[in-house]
Structure formats: structure tokens, C-alpha cells
Amino acid sequence: GLNSILLLILAVSLGIPDPSGIFGIVATVVLASVVLHGTTATPLAAWYGRRAHAAQLPEETLVDAGSLFHIDGDPPPVPRTTPEALWRMLEAGEPVTTVDVRRWQPFEASGRRIPGSLRIPIDVIPHRLAEIPRDRPAVLSCA
């Protein structure tokens, strides 16, 4: 495209014979290139976007290589609960805040929600901690 035009300008400035004939050929090639790239790039990009959106990619769960290899020792234990125990707490009306921390793709793909849960993706929790009530236990759900 652009290279062809630049080469044409260089050739014309050097005084090639019959520049109008060469200009017609270069203009046709550039126009064909623009049409070809324009008609193929958009459908291919749309296809790739649909395929990437549908893919279930594994989530990153560790934030750095040090965490991966436990350089600072074992991580501190985190209190855990089962879905059944959470369900019993919710059914009993116990004061508990559930926070759905799934990333966008797994959240949209599952279609399942915990009634009354807060939706705060894991990546933005540090910026939205104030939204989680501190007067009761919080259960973070990623499934």
C-alpha cells in the first residue's frame, strides 16, 4: 500500500518515462490491497473475538512468582467454609456477607448467583473493600 506509493514518488522524482501508466498500476494495486484487507480483517477479527469470548481459560490465582514458589514460607491459613454450611447460615438468617469474586467470564458463563451477594471481581477487591460490611463475617465465593 503505502510503500508502493512511496516507491512511485521516488521513481517519478528520478524521471522515469510514462509515470501516468505506472501510477495507474500502483493505484489499482493499492486500492485492491485496501479492499482485500478491509473485507478480510473485519470478519476474521469478529470470528477471533467470538472464539476468545467462548473459551474457558484457566484463571490466574497467584499474583507473583514469589507466591507461586512460597518464597516467604507457606501462606497463612484462611478460614474456609463449604457451600452447604454457607447455605445453612443464609437459611438461618445469620448475619453473613457473601461476595462473588469471580472474574467476568466465569461469572457470565455460569448464570448462577448467590441471592443477596455482592459482586466484586477479585481484581478490584483492594479498591472496593469499603463496600464489604465489617460488622459480620464475609464469605468470598469464586465458584
Quote the radius of gyration of the chain (alpha carbons, Å): 29
Where would I find the beta strands (DSSP E) of 55-136?
97-100, 118-119
pLDDT at 47: 86
Q: What is the dihedral of CA 67, 71, 74, 77, to 10 degrees?
A: -40
Which ranges of the chain have pLDDT less than 70? 1, 55-76
User: Cell numbers of 131, please?
Assistant: 463496600
Q: Which residues of 11-34 are buried (b: 16+ CB within 10 A; e: fewer)?
A: eeeeeeeeeeeeeeebeeebeeee
pLDDT at 58: 61
pLDDT at 57: 60
Amino acid present at 20: S
pLDDT at 97: 94
